[in-house]
Amino acid sequence: MTIPDFTTDNPLRIGTRRSPLALAQAEMAAAAIRAAHGLQDEAVVLVPMLSSGDKIQDRPLAEIGGKALWTKELERALIEDQIDIGVHSMKDVETVRAPEFTLSAMLPRADVHDRLVGAGSLEALPQNAHVGTSSPRRAAQLAALRPDLRFSPIRGNVATRLAQIDSGDFDATLLAAAGLNRLGMTGVGVNLSFEDMLPAAAQGAIGIDHLASRPEIEIFLQAVNDEVTFAAVMAERAFLEALGGNCHSPVAAQAVVSGGEIKLLGEILREDGSERQAGSVTFEANDPDGPSRLAQELIAKASAELRALFTA
């Protein structure tokens, strides 16, 4: 199979959302591809698009379609041959995808912590503090630690959310450390420990997908694929798939790859944080059933109310 020859006259077209963070991540992918294949700058171009998730800012994503809102425009562009590949925050990619699309590469993973913005620590948040978050996972994890906190949805890009903290609309919010770091905001907020807040599955990872009907693109992308990141993220996504549930179901996961083994930590929670079931499993990297064993273990320990969030 011939590897594609992208040139200034026939450039690789990278689809991306228009948000500052999405563009920064797409530029990272473009730079990695240029370096790996010795391409000129003009041989790799960005094609920014406005996603439904960017258009609808007044409601939580979980209420209006979930993760699909971030990806469907890029998927349509792939089908209509407007782009060759799409670049995504892997946290925003649906767990179960249509067979027309293939995830073939992920860049080296960044910091996977959640970062608290607005206070120096969870303990420093005042009693009954108002926290802005549209993430069922983050709200449930914080409620488990601080039942006194109040939560309201917050939407918009990173700058918009930070402005709402500065203006006093909220006492605090939570953002992914990876996104802040990619925007050059390394000094904004404080990382929360994994014991307090296990991250979302695939947090901190940038993925690249394409049409399954173009296997030559898969070969082309292997030059920029970080195998450790890919293995960890795919294990976390398999855990989500085994759990079932939907975008309202609070769940966290983190996989650590060491040699030929993967240690997967996971937790599921009730929305109000009143129940939190956590566990871990270690399995061979080539064992496809490892993530589902952890999912089954957590479901077996859960109350009927918690189980219902994942086994509808």
Q: How many CA atoms lie less than 13 Å away from 309 in the CB half-sphere?
A: 26
Q: Give the closest residue to 183 by CA, choosing from 20, 14, 16, 19.
A: 20
**Tens of pLDDT, residues 44-63:** 999 999 765 555 555 555 55
Q: Give the closest residue to 231 by CA, choosing from 273, 262, 205.
A: 262
Which of 54, 84, 92, 209 is flagged as catalytic? Answer: 92
Q: Does residue 217 register a pLDDT over 60? A: yes
Report the pLDDT value the prediction gives residue 284, as an integer from 0 to 100: 97
Report the pLDDT value the prediction gives residue 155, as an integer from 0 to 100: 79
**Tens of pLDDT, residues 272-286:** 999 999 999 999 999
How far is residue 181's CA from residue 279's CA, in Å, rounded to a whole number?
A: 29
Mean pLDDT of 36-42: 97
Told to judge if 41 belongs to the known catalytic residues of this protein, a careful annotator would answer no
CA–CA–CA angle 275, 280, 286 (5° rounding): 140
Question: What long-range pairs does 149-158 form, CB within 8 A, spacing at least 24?
Answer: 149/125, 153/59, 153/60, 155/57, 155/58, 155/59, 155/60, 155/61, 156/57, 157/19, 157/20, 157/21, 158/20, 158/21, 158/183, 158/185
Q: Give the closest residue to 239 by CA, choosing from 280, 275, 277.
A: 280
Domains of the chain plus CATH, in order, are 12-107+204-225 (3.40.190.10), 114-191 (3.40.190.10), 238-307 (3.30.160.40)
Q: Which two tokens stand for residue 13?
A: 């077209």
**Tens of pLDDT, residues 134-155:** 999 999 999 999 999 999 999 7
How far is residue 240's CA from residue 292's CA, in Å, rounded to a whole number?
A: 9
How far is residue 235's CA from residue 293's CA, in Å, rounded to a whole number?
A: 12
Residue 65 CA to its chain's centroid (Å): 16
Q: Residue 260 — pLDDT band, cuts 50, 70, 90?
A: very high
- pTM for the predicted model, two decimal places: 0.92
Q: Does residue 231 register a pLDDT over 90? A: yes
Mean pLDDT of 227-244: 96
Q: Residue 199 — pLDDT band, cuts 50, 70, 90?
A: very high
Q: Residue 151: beta bridge partners?
A: 131
Mean pLDDT of 179-194: 96
DSSP H or E segment with residue 136:
helix 136-145
Residue-wise DSSP of 258-277? ETTEEEEEEEEE-TTSS-EE
Among residues of the chain, what percentage have pLDDT more than 70? 93
Report the pLDDT value the prediction gives residue 246, as an integer from 0 to 100: 78
Q: Does residue 105 register a pLDDT over 60? A: yes
How far is residue 81's CA from residue 273's CA, in Å, rounded to a whole number?
A: 45
